[in-house]
Copies of this chain bind each other. A is one copy, B any other.
Amino acid sequence: MAREDVLARLAELGFSEDDAGVLADHFLDAERRGKPSHGLVRVEWLASQSRDPRASARRVVAEPAFERWDGNGAFGYLTLAAICDAQLASPPARVRIVVASDAFPLGMLGYWVRQLASGGLVALLTSTSPRRLGSPEGGPPLAGTNPLAIGIPSSDGRPLVADVSMGRVTHGDVLLGRATDADLVPFGGEQAHKAFALAVGLQAFVEALAGGDSPGAVLLVAQPSADPVPALRALAAGVRLPGDS
């Protein structure tokens, strides 16, 4: 599917030209990176979500080291795009925490931290999503697949990007028909209690900061004090690092 066709369909769904560009770039990047569960399958899926294609997130608190954003009914992709643009336009002196409520769906968190790291900022981002993961010991779903993404700038021009969902599969894999809801368990096999603990910990972390019942996100952005990635690449001696293609 060519970019212009994606843009045309997104326009039909009601998105502005700029917003359609943000969404198309995200979906096409997912396809290029071999993550089709975050790719073009999401175009029609957007139409199934009860969100307003013309809504925009609002920044409701803006302090030097803290911001709070309200998704305001907008699609989360657009909320995070606005948050990233704002951080790059006005970076923190040292560090800043950005808390977003009503922030869903967000796509690949690695996409957003890569943007920030490419712009020179250390970034750590996590988010909640509908509860789908239960304890390996049984019981109801308690946490979303709650990814954790980390982006680190590098003087070699290739940021390090780690982006890990706590599920054995993602909900996108289910949308693609590659997995079923029964596969939505914490990853780790016999040590799935570890991914479960991370998913529940991140769930409560985001909820404690963002409040409310809707999915949220917490982003840390910081100025780097050091440039560790080139030395890590040299040490790896050709072993693929997270996020490298």
Contacts and interface: CB of A to CB of B under 8 A. Distances in A.
10 closest A-B pairs by CB:
A162-B201, A65-B65, A139-B239, A150-B201, A207-B228, A197-B242, A211-B226, A189-B189, A152-B204, A162-B197
Interface residues of A, number: 70
Contact of A225 (B168, B198, B204, B208): B208
Interface stretch (A25-33, A173-181, A229-237): A229-237
A156 interface: no
A204 B190 contact: no
A94 B63 contact: yes
Interface in A203-234: 203-205, 207-212, 220, 222, 224-229, 232
Given A137-B239, A225-B208, A242-B196, A168 B191 contact: yes
Given A134-B239, A189-B191, A210-B225, 7 more contacts: A63-B94, A64-B65, A139-B239, A161-B201, A207-B228, A209-B224, A220-B220
Grouping DSSP codes into helix (H, G, I), strand (E, B) and loop, the A interface class, with mixed when no group exceeds half, is: mixed
A135 B187 contact: no
Interface string A22-57: 000000000000000000000000000000000000
A228 B241 contact: no
Contact of A139 (B189, B207, B236): B236
A226 B205 contact: no
A142 B236 contact: yes
Contacts of A189: 188-191
Q: How many copies does the complex hold?
A: 2
Contact of A122 (B196, B197, B203, B209): B209
Contacts of A212: 226
B163 A232 contact: no
A160 B97 contact: no
Contacts of A229: 204
A235 B131 CA distance: 11
A139 to B, nearest CB: 4
28 contacts: A65-B95, A66-B95, A97-B220, A122-B205, A122-B209, A135-B240, A137-B240, A139-B237, A139-B239, A140-B236, A140-B237, A142-B241, A148-B198, A148-B201, A150-B201, A150-B205, A152-B204, A163-B197, A168-B191, A187-B191, A188-B191, A188-B194, A201-B242, A203-B232, A204-B229, A208-B226, A209-B224, A210-B226
